[in-house]
Amino acid sequence: MAVNVRIPTPLQKLTGGKGDVTASGGNVKEVIDHLEKNYPGFKEKLYSEDGELRRFINIYINEEDIRFIDSDGSQVKDGDTISIIPAIAGGSGKIQK
């Protein structure tokens, strides 16, 4: 099954500058494995050394957070869009006046 994957700017150096790529797989993990075959180094940016998705990586299937489905086991179908969004953190925690 072919799905569209939206690549965040920090990972586009691995995809040759492409912000959108096509990948195949029956679930999110298989899609990421496919991306790793085509863009070596991609998977290590999303997974920790113990094989878990990194806490600050958010992945959506058609705008639905996979944490509320079946994590990286979430099923995908032909034509779905997967968005990979790194969480943004920082700042002082103070509200500026």
Q: Return the domain boundaries, the chain.
A: 2-86
User: What pLDDT was estimated at residue 17?
Assistant: 97
- The model's pLDDT over 69-97, given as tens digits with 9 standing for 90+, comes to 999 999 999 999 999 999 876 555 555 55
Give yes or no for a contact between 23 and 1, defined as CB atoms under 8 angstroms apart: no
For residues 11-24, one letter each, b for 16 or more C-beta atoms within 10 angstroms of the residue's C-beta and e for the rest, the string is: beebbeeeeebebe
* Residue stretches of the chain with pLDDT short of 70: 89-97
User: What pLDDT was estimated at residue 87?
Assistant: 85
User: What pLDDT was estimated at residue 88?
Assistant: 74
Cβ count within 10 A of residue 41: 10
CATH superfamily to which 2-86 belongs: Beta-grasp domain (3.10.20.30)
